[in-house]
């Protein structure tokens, strides 16, 4: 028999989640938010639909900055009026977000963008922006009574799933493209105790498998097809606008892979405009790696259609050829009058070396943002005097092999910092220091 506590809890749940619903973005079918959301039977993805509140009190967000309660401390749940109303006792939070905005003369000089700010999402608990979506989705998984959770991943999602599932006391299964995961991420997923399934194939194959597995095997799917992931990732935009006193920049630049973040950013901006918080919309610039650029190709064709590609890039996080959030991301570009651009692996690695050398540091996929800013400035798309916020999506320690490969490469690279080995003598030391870098 259900105890009184259980009944209270389910009443709170129903009251909260009945305030929102899930609508398929393709056929418009609406389902209850108590469902465990996969794809709609038409193949579309669900989005969370809210009723517009009477008013949003922006001063409340400032007040929460001075409090110690976990939900106020979280750079996700601080903005809870914009998020699904989950009962606070079910929320699993580390807490996330609170990621800083940095400016640095070396980044401005290299990109040619004087007013460049970088928001470092690598400062999240597991070192990537994924934690923002994960706190919302794992809390929803608990609310709907999920028994186990799963995802396919190029690495960061799996690290985040593994950590949040462990915090929630749920078993997790992660599907990874075998041999294509950066060491830091694989290490995290193993350490946090996920069941690791390495799929002989690329991310896109792993993604297909996990979608089939989740409906057949009753696994709650934590990829960004899950609308609660998107809701959490919207807070990158909420927090960065809060940090800028709700004065929007001209551009927000981010890397694009599976396009969940692109979808989330557009959705966040639409919500803020609809709710009267924002009068001017920043333009989104999505940057893909040249060898993994189906969204760029679709953009260049006027979004007539998207053709999946076989993806290859040194930035393994965005080595994705068939992005699941294509339709949502297209809407984001259209809503924000955004652009999509590509950068080469060499440009990504040089940009990463510049970010690292500035003392900020990021993983390769994140540096696509910075390489993209440089390219868009050179093209005159980003104009002099415009304020740009570029998103660094992951921490420098995620991919140590990429650092070693760049700085110890046989051929010269522009920002190389090659370690030297010397005999243990002052003479040898004098000799190497005299030659500087
Ligand atoms: N940057 C990093 C560091 C990522 O890990 C990802 C995606 C992206 C950018 C691209 O974001 O998919 O929203 O367009 N990583 C996913 C993963 C796919 O499995 O960790 P997106």
**Ligand 1 atom nearest to 363, measured from its CA:** 3
- Residue 27: the pLDDT is 95
Residues 388-401 have pLDDT tens digits of 999 999 999 999 99
Cα dihedral across residues 55, 57, 58, 61: positive or negative: negative
Residues 105-151 have pLDDT tens digits of 999 999 999 999 999 999 999 999 999 999 999 999 999 999 999 99
pLDDT band at 4 (very low <50, low <70, confident <90, very high): low
pLDDT band at 7 (very low <50, low <70, confident <90, very high): low
Residues in Cβ contact with 389 at an 8 Å cutoff, skipping those fewer than 6 apart:
101, 117, 118, 119, 240, 244, 249, 251, 252, 253, 282
pLDDT band at 2 (very low <50, low <70, confident <90, very high): very low
Residue nearest ligand 1's atom 12 by CA: 258
- Residue 54: the pLDDT is 81
Mean pLDDT of 24-46: 91
- Residue 35: the pLDDT is 82
- Residue 70: the pLDDT is 96
- Residue 15: the pLDDT is 62
**Ligand 1 atom nearest to 157, measured from its CA:** 20
Instruction: Determine the Cα–Cα distance for residues 175 and 188; give it in Å rounded to an integer.
Output: 14
Q: How far is the CA of 15 from the centre of ligand 1 (A)?
A: 33
- Residue 13: the pLDDT is 63
Cβ-contact 84, 33 below 8 angstroms? yes
Residue nearest ligand 1's atom 4 by CA: 317
Mean pLDDT of 162-178: 98
Q: How far is the CA of 237 from the centre of ligand 1 (A)?
A: 16
Residue nearest ligand 1's atom 15 by CA: 317
Residues 211-237 have pLDDT tens digits of 999 989 999 999 999 999 999 999 999
Residue scoring higher pLDDT (311 or 16): 311
Q: Is the pLDDT of residue 11 over 70?
A: no
**Ligand 1 atom nearest to 159, measured from its CA:** 20
Q: How far is the CA of 217 from the centre of ligand 1 (A)?
A: 25
Residues 267-322 have pLDDT tens digits of 999 999 999 999 999 999 999 999 999 999 999 999 999 999 999 999 999 999 99
Cα dihedral across residues 93, 94, 100, 106: positive or negative: negative
pLDDT band at 36 (very low <50, low <70, confident <90, very high): confident
**Ligand 1 atom nearest to 394, measured from its CA:** 3
Helix (H) or strand (E) segment spanning residue 195: strand 195-199
Instruction: Determine the Cα–Cα distance for residues 121 and 396; give it in Å rounded to an integer.
Output: 11
Q: Which residues sit with their C-beta closer than 6 Å to ligand 1?
A: 128, 130, 153-157, 255-262, 317-318, 363, 365-366, 393-394
Reference 236, options 272, 264, 205; nearest CA is 264
- Residue 28: the pLDDT is 95
Q: Is the pLDDT of residue 425 over 90?
A: yes
Average pLDDT, the chain: 95
Q: How far is the CA of 271 from the centre of ligand 1 (A)?
A: 23
**Ligand 1 atom nearest to 155, measured from its CA:** 20
Q: How far is the CA of 365 from the centre of ligand 1 (A)?
A: 8
**Ligand 1 atom nearest to 233, measured from its CA:** 13
Residue scoring higher pLDDT (63 or 35): 63
Cβ-contact 294, 321 below 8 angstroms? yes
Residue nearest ligand 1's atom 7 by CA: 317
CA dihedral 59, 64, 67, 68 (to 10 degrees): 180
- Residue 1: the pLDDT is 43
Percent of the chain with pLDDT over 90: 92
Q: How far is the CA of 261 from the centre of ligand 1 (A)?
A: 8
Both tokens of 273, joined, read: 């405009």
Question: What pTM value is reported for the model?
Answer: 0.96
pLDDT band at 333 (very low <50, low <70, confident <90, very high): very high
Residue scoring higher pLDDT (9 or 368): 368
Q: How far is the CA of 9 from the centre of ligand 1 (A)?
A: 34
Cβ-contact 305, 384 below 8 angstroms? no
CA-to-CA separations, 36 to 13, 152, 220, in angstroms, rounded: 14, 17, 7
Q: How far is the CA of 76 from the centre of ligand 1 (A)?
A: 18
């Amino acid at each position: 028999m259900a105890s009184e506590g259980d009944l209270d809890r389910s009443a709170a749940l129903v009251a909260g989640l009945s305030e929102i619903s899930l609508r398929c973005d393709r056929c418009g079918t609406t389902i209850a938010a108590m469902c465990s959301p996969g794809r709609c039977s038409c193949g579309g993805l669900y989005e969370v639909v809210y009723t517009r509140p009477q008013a949003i009190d922006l001063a409340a967000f400032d007040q929460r900055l001075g409090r110690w309660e976990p939900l106020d401390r979280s750079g996700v749940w601080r903005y809870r009026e914009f998020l699904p109303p989950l009962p606070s006792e079910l929320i699993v939070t580390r807490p996330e977000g609170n990621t800083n905005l940095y400016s640095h003369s070396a980044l401005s000089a290299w990109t040619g963008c004087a007013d460049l700010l970088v928001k470092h999402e690598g400062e999240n608990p597991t070192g990537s922006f994924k934690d923002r979506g994960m706190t919302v989705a794992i809390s929803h998984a608990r609310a709907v009574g999920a028994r186990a959770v799963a995802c396919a991943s190029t690495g960061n999602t799996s690290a985040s799933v593994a950590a949040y599932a462990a915090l929630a006391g749920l078993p997790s299964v992660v599907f990874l493209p075998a041999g294509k995961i950066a060491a830091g991420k694989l290490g995290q997923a193993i350490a946090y105790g996920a069941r690791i399934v390495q799929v002989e194939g690329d991310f896109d194959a792993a993604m297909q498998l996990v979608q089939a597995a989740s409906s057949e095997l009753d696994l709650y799917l934590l990829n960004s097809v899950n609308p609660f992931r998107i809701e959490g990732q919207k807070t990158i935009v909420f927090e960065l606008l809060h940090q800028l006193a709700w004065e929007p920049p001209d551009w927000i630049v981010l890397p694009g892979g599976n396009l969940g973040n692109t979808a989330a950013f557009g959705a966040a901006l639409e919500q803020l405009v609809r709710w009267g918080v924002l009068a001017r919309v920043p333009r989104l610039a999505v940057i893909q790696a040249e060898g993994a650029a189906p969204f760029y190709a679709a953009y260049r064709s006027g979004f007539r259609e998207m053709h999946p590609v076989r993806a290859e890039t040194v930035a393994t996080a965005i080595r994705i050829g068939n992005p699941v959030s294509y339709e949502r991301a297209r809407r984001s570009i259209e809503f924000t009058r955004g652009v999509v651009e590509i950068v080469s692996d060499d440009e990504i690695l040089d940009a990463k070396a510049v970010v690292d050398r500035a003392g900020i540091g990021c993983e390769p996929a994140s540096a696509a943002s910075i390489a993209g800013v440089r390219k868009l400035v050179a093209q005159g798309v980003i104009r002099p005097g415009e304020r740009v916020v570029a998103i660094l999506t992951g921490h420098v320690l995620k991919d140590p092999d990429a650092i070693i490969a760049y700085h110890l490469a046989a051929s010269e690279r522009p920002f190389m910092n090659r370690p030297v080995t010397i005999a243990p003598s002052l003479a040898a030391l004098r000799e190497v220091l005299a030659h500087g870098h």
